[in-house]
């Protein structure tokens, strides 16, 4: 059976635009509420160590005002763990974080950091926060997620988004295989990064996937057609592909 595919809208770049002028407009909470009206099933926000877009007070405001689940993206650090445990979002997605990167450039090396991740997964799960590990679509990384007892993995679609032709088709197969492997082992597979109106449908057609997290393209497209229209069109393309 193919489940409905949820859409998580990442609002980080509404905060990027706000921060460019140091004021309070555009407000990421208002953007999150607009995305929800247009069919988003959840909101994703990445509180980075350098606070370059989302800030601590945004997380507080989002947890207070949202009626749909919040997925907090975070690095596996003590500081972020403490913030997650304080705000108790519905979900937390553990991502690798390097200060100098422009965005999350590769998946987490779950296979190489068992001890650190085990502690973070246990603490978050113990607080009823649904933990997801952002990993490359690689069977070694899925195997690590199984060992770590992560309930969810988010498969990095960044490589897929940047490739074309046969290389893209091969990467799509890797994502589908990783999603199937996760699902067979009781892990809920999600996917995201670099998805657009043009490349979302082959990903949305992968039957085991349960959620896509999409940000930069939707916020950029909102400049031309408005946020609600941009989210609604993505929602429609995903539904059409199932």
| Separation between Cα atoms, residue 89 and residue 176, nearest integer Å | 28
Residue 201, Cβ neighbours under 10 Å: how many? Answer: 14
What is the torsion angle, in degrees rounded to the nearest 10, for the CA atoms of residue 55, residue 188, residue 165 and residue 214? -30
Cβ–Cβ < 8 Å for 5, 211: yes
Binding site for ligand PXP (CB under 6 A): 10, 12, 46, 73, 93, 95, 103-104, 134, 154, 192-195, 213-217
Instruction: State the minimum distance, in angstroms, from the CB of residue 14 to ligand PXP.
Output: 12
Let me know if 162 is a catalytic residue.
no
* Backbone conformation region of residue 186, classed left if phi is above 0, alpha if psi is from -120 to 50, else beta: left
- Closest to ligand PXP by CB, 160 or 217: 217
Instruction: State the minimum distance, in angstroms, from the CB of residue 234 to ligand PXP.
Output: 10
Cβ–Cβ < 8 Å for 214, 201: no
> Active site residue: 53, 156, 190, 193, which one?
193
Bridge partners (DSSP) of residue 7 are: 212
> Active site residue: 53, 73, 154, 221, which one?
73
Instruction: State the minimum distance, in angstroms, from the CB of residue 156 to ligand PXP.
Output: 7
Instruction: State the minimum distance, in angstroms, from the CB of residue 66 to ligand PXP.
Output: 18
- Closest to ligand PXP by CB, 193 or 208: 193
Let me know if 46 is a catalytic residue.
yes
SS3 218: helix
Q: Name the burial class of residue 64, with classes exposed (0-12), middle (13-18) and buried (19+) by CB atoms within 10 angstroms of its CB.
A: exposed
- Closest to ligand PXP by CB, 153 or 181: 153
- Closest CA relative to residue 193, chosen from 110, 67, 108: 108
- Closest CA relative to residue 44, chosen from 76, 82, 89: 89
Instruction: State the minimum distance, in angstroms, from the CB of residue 1 to ligand PXP.
Output: 25
Let me know if 73 is a catalytic residue.
yes
Catalytic residues: 46, 73, 193
């Amino acid at each position: 059976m193919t489940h409905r595919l949820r859409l998580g809208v990442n609002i980080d770049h509404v905060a990027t635009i706000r921060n460019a002028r140091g004021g309070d407009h555009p407000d990421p909470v208002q953007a999150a509420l607009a995305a929800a009206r247009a069919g988003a099933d959840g909101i994703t926000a990445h509180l980075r160590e350098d606070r370059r877009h989302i800030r601590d007070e945004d997380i507080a405001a989002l947890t207070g005002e949202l009626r749909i689940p919040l997925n907090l993206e975070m690095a596996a650090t003590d500081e972020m763990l403490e913030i997650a445990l304080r705000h108790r979002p519905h979900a937390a997605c553990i991502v690798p974080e390097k200060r100098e990167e422009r965005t999350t450039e590769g998946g987490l090396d779950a296979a190489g950091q068992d001890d650190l991740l085990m502690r973070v997964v246990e603490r978050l799960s113990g607080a009823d926060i649904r933990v997801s590990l952002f990993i490359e679509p690689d069977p070694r990384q899925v195997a690590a997620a199984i060992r770590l007892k992560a309930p969810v993995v988010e498969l990095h679609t960044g490589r897929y988004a940047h490739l074309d032709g046969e290389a893209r088709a091969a990467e799509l197969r890797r994502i589908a295989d990783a999603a199937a492997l996760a699902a067979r082992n009781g892990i809920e597979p999600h996917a995201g990064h670099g998805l657009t109106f043009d490349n979302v449908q082959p990903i949305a057609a992968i039957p085991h996937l349960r959620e896509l997290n999409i940000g930069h393209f939707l916020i950029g497209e909102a400049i031309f057609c408005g946020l609600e229209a941009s989210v609604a069109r993505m929602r429609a393309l995903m539904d059409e592909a199932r």
